[in-house]
Amino acid sequence: MYLKHGSPVKMMESYIAVLTKGICQSEENGSFLSKDFDARKAYLAGSIKDIVSQFGMETVILHTALMLKKRIVVYHPKIEAVQEFTRTLPALVWHRQDWTILHSYVHLHAEELEALQMCPGYIAGFVDLEVSSRSDLYDVFVNLADSEITIAPLAKEAMTMGKLHKDIGQLIVQSAEDPEKSDSQVIQDISLKTREIFTNLEPFSEVSGDGEKLVLNFEALKQRRFPPATENFLYHLAAAEQMLKI
């Protein structure tokens, strides 16, 4: 198009047409329809099964961190490995359909880190091992090269694991190891389990005073006498979902 018209204006017109109408037409290439390219297919481009194959039961740490909207930093010296791994992680919390938490290539530059730290929860990819010593940047650190996951000291209380997490971890591993199941089916299994967790939270939720949203009734949660790790997780999950009374 640029060769034909010698102006970026025509290119911009096509771009705006896709943005506003979802269609772009050209004499040479026919029509482009954005509805032919479902964003969810892009979300499924990575492999959850590969992540579980590498980290096994520890995958539940990643699931928990994402559920609680924690800060995850992923390191590998090869950018391709970082990008493939990080783009797959939001699928562990499929119900949110939120890939805006993804910052798959970050440098240890002041302006980039400042922008990153303004985000409440994120997945950030780095190729510089020096990031491992920057515990102010993460709640969970994934050394992809060494297949190691580390929980930062300040995040350990919120990330305390119990029977609930063990059950989730076993479900993730069993589903991912089933050769008959595709990645999308594994994601569906995890999503159903996630929905179950939110169902557990519902009996302890009430409409806030202004009637605008659901908030957690912490006393009702305590009276249920869940195991400490489960109660702790549900409380922090309510906090992540902005369900705490202010």
pTM (global) more than 0.85:
no
CA angle 56, 163, 64 (to 5 degrees): 55
Model pLDDT, residue 214? 79
Averaged pLDDT for residues 42-54 = 87
Q: Residue 167 above 90 pLDDT?
A: yes
User: Taking the mean position of all CA atoms in its chain, how far away is CA 180?
Assistant: 25
Q: For 196-232, what is each residue's pLDDT tens digit?
A: 998 888 888 888 766 667 788 888 888 989 999 999 9
Instruction: Indicate the average pLDDT of the chain.
Output: 91
Q: For 64-103, what is each residue's pLDDT tens digit?
A: 999 999 999 999 999 999 999 999 999 999 998 898 999 9
